[in-house]
A and B are shown apart, each in its own frame.
Chain A
């Protein structure tokens, strides 16, 4: 019997409980999700898109699920220590998969018409903000975890920014994994930006207790015409953490999106990104950093869909792999028929610090329009020995020289981060990471 059947059984047996802990559109989509899961199963390594990450096997252990929404007593105050200094944010939490708001953010008044809060609450009380969007981008029929997530998910975050509203303050969602037993967490994030609005969203993923976690995360983002989105996804979890995330972005005309994935510390991670240009004149900057060591695993898959003309996409992913870690990057850019004047560049560069570290990279470009400017490139190599010697000749010790070269290597990606305090913070975090001082997240007592 395949592993996904266990989850279908759990779902069928606990349907009432699951529905009770959630609402509206979220419950309405569960049957369809179950059908999709039955049809497609979970993504396994015989599928090309999952060649290097056998996600299905991650679901095999007997994970606990908190379907009855028990309070898991997560100390959210811990998260404040992981805050980005000099960056004042509207702070929210998902403790495992339960939404909470920080005391100060609860009092903060949001611009008129803006909703930032629990997704299930919104599905119950503001269906107009959820129903037209929920599940509209996440494709449950392609290999992935959108189906199982949709079938089981009970809560998450909704950010709704109506037309013309600029959210000056970044919204920060800290996800905390904390449990006495090994736990599976399904969370969902829905972001809707109307016409000419702006949002900066920072997602920080932390694990607080030493248990194993399996997280499925599905994020759907609607970027309205003329709007601007900055989305930063920062993972600092421990070695026993498994994470599968899928991000779907739909960009209307003249919109801008900057998406940066930073995997500072993790166990095994698979991130899939699907972005689509639905309107002309839009821009996307999609970047990623992976610093992995020990037996960590990081697999980023991106799919950039140029459906219409006059859009620009730029991608830069860089990995530094130490010890016996493995990394994978697969980036596909599809320029559809008629998507003229497309400008697209994709770069993936990787440094393997040891002979045991492995990197798999697969850039892909599919072009069906004739007036486009597209490039892609990928490299896997070592630190530049010539540069290293040059630095040592000037008196910089070997260890320090290595550090500076690695920092410089990922610094190119950090340089693309628009949010300045975050940029400074990332530079420091990456340095700490390379120095071996960062094992999970700064200030967390539970770090190991």
Chain B
């Protein structure tokens, strides 16, 4: 699904990612953990093609294609999705209009006809139920007047609508109370299949209680310094990052 090789990237001329290697296969859930400033958000932003970030070295293939050669919208059309840590408010653009445009642009890019209005409304209803998002939000401007939890549920709603093959959840648990967390995680789990993959970027174990990862990575100073099974997340929760960092530094000596 996704193969990252020796990825170096940064922002404003400052290198933040210093050689990332990562392979995500279809059906897998990967967790990327790490202390503040380790490069977690940079990594997700680079993958989805944020124009402020610049790749200086390395290669990323997504479903066999050169991901870095694609525009942000092309990446989306090819099935890449990111749930934003801070979803953006767009005054004056209604959720319905936003979603309709997004879906139909994707269909256009894939050579499909636009969705019939009735089918579109049916789809909205079905996906709203998945994350328990009230119908009233559809007439509102995108994320405007949404609470923190509603914004995150809206992210998962959009994910459900766009049916991506790879979803990056960037700190989706931040600012969520336990009920909202459960709803969001439940939505993600119900969207999971053998053909789709998820990268969960998180600080804490909390979210991983609900979205069970297959593989856990620790990101530190722009590099993945440890990769292990789900038990690693529990250990990090208990012992913090210091021991992993020390282990890594010792190995570098």
Contacts and interface: CB of A to CB of B under 8 A. Distances in A.
Interface string B235-247: 0000000000000
Nearest to B51: A389
B101 interface: yes
Contact of A395 (B88, B91, B106): B106
B69 to A, nearest CB: 16
B84 A394 contact: no
Given A389-B50, A389-B51, A404-B101, A394 B76 contact: yes
Listed residue (B81, B97, B98, B106) with the most chain A CB atoms within 10 angstroms of its CB = B98
Contacts of A400: 101, 105
B101 A396 contact: yes
B92 A392 contact: no
B73 interface: yes
26 contacts: A389-B51, A389-B72, A389-B88, A390-B88, A391-B90, A392-B71, A392-B76, A393-B48, A393-B72, A393-B73, A393-B82, A394-B98, A394-B162, A395-B77, A395-B106, A396-B73, A396-B98, A398-B73, A404-B97, A404-B98, A404-B101, A405-B90, A408-B91, A409-B92, A411-B92, A412-B91
Q: How large is the interface on B (under 10, 10 to 19, 20 to 34, 35 or more residues)?
A: 20 to 34
B90 A395 contact: no
Interface string A305-337: 000000000000000000000000000000000
A392 B158 CA distance: 13
B80 to A, nearest CB: 8
Nearest to B83: A393
B93 interface: yes
Contacts of B93: 404-405, 408
Interface in B58-111: 71-73, 75-77, 81-82, 84, 87-93, 97-98, 101-103, 105-106, 109
A390 B75 CA distance: 13
Contacts of B51: 389
Contacts of A407: 92
B133 to A, nearest CB: 16
A81 B89 CA distance: 39
B92 A395 contact: no
Contacts of B49: 392-393
Contacts of B76: 392-395
A386 interface: yes
A394 B90 contact: no
B73 A392 contact: yes
A392 B75 CA distance: 9
A397 interface: yes
A389 B75 CA distance: 12
Contacts, number: 75
B88 A392 contact: no
B102 A394 contact: yes
Interface in B16-38: none
Contacts of B50: 389
A389 B53 CA distance: 12
Interface in A348-391: 384, 386-387, 389-391
A391 B77 contact: no
Contacts of B91: 408, 412
Query: Which secondary structure dominates where chain A touches chain B?
Result: helix
Given A408-B92, A411-B92, A397 B105 contact: yes
Nearest to A411: B92
Contacts of B158: 394
B90 to A, nearest CB: 5
Nearest to A415: B92
Contacts of A392: 49, 71-73, 76
A384 to B, nearest CB: 8
B82 A387 contact: no
B87 A390 contact: yes
A279 to B, nearest CB: 35
Contacts of B84: 390, 393
A392 B106 CA distance: 11
A395 B97 contact: no
A390 B101 CA distance: 13
A44 B81 CA distance: 56
A165 to B, nearest CB: 37
A396 B109 CA distance: 10
B240 to A, nearest CB: 33
B102 A396 contact: yes
Nearest to B50: A389
Interface in A284-303: none
A443 B77 CA distance: 37
Nearest to A404: B93
A407 B90 CA distance: 12
Q: Which 4 A-B pairs have the closest CB atoms?
A: A408-B92, A395-B76, A392-B72, A390-B88
A393 B106 CA distance: 11
Contacts of B101: 396, 400, 404
Nearest to A390: B88
Given A404-B97, A407-B92, A408-B93, A395 B102 contact: yes
Contacts of A405: 90, 92-93
A297 B97 CA distance: 32
A412 B88 CA distance: 18
A136 B84 CA distance: 60
Given A384-B88, A397-B71, A404-B101, 10 more contacts: A386-B88, A387-B88, A389-B51, A392-B73, A394-B102, A396-B101, A404-B98, A405-B90, A408-B93, A408-B141
B18 to A, nearest CB: 24
Given A395-B109, A404-B101, A390 B90 contact: yes
